[in-house]
Amino acid sequence: MSRVMRPPESLPQVFLYRKPVDFRKSYRGLGAIVELEIGHNPFDGRLYVFINRRHTKLKCLFWETNGFVLYYKSLAEEKFKWPKQHDELITLTGQQLNWLLDGYDISQMKPHKPLHYESLF
């Protein structure tokens, strides 16, 4: 399986924002959450992960030298297994983030089933 445009596994810190967010937010709205709610500098090069209410979509926000990178993934059938800790912000490694993107429940290391489609219609 080829993975294109993934956050690097070598990232030392990835921050999962626990509360679901409105996915109409662009990099500016997500950056405002990082700055105003989390209290971090969105320009410091750390990666932040956000989830929608249904846990079917995920957005990553990252400042890369001269602009924001916004990574978006929408699952076709299942849901992201969001950690059940009570902290507002959870820290992961880049490798754990990629496991989450692959569909693993990172607390149980159980993946989603692979899906194969031929057409959107």
71-87 pLDDT, tens per residue?
999 998 889 888 776 77
46 or 104: which carries more pLDDT confidence? 46
CA distances for 53 relative to 21, 22, 64, 95, angstroms? 7, 8, 27, 24
- Supply the mean pLDDT for the chain: 86
pLDDT greater than 90 at residue 38: yes
Report the alpha-carbon distance of residue 14 to residue 40 in Å, rounded. Answer: 13
Could you tell me which of 75, 2, 104, 88 has the C-alpha nearest to residue 49? 88
**pLDDT on residue 120:** 75
**pLDDT on residue 85:** 65
Report the alpha-carbon distance of residue 83 to residue 22 in Å, rounded. Answer: 19
Report the alpha-carbon distance of residue 47 to residue 93 in Å, rounded. Answer: 10
Domain boundaries, the chain: 14-101
Q: What percent of the chain has pLDDT over 70?
A: 90
pLDDT tier at 112, thresholds 50, 70, 90: low
pLDDT greater than 60 at residue 111: no
Name the burial class of residue 65, with classes exposed (0-12), middle (13-18) and buried (19+) by CB atoms within 10 angstroms of its CB: exposed
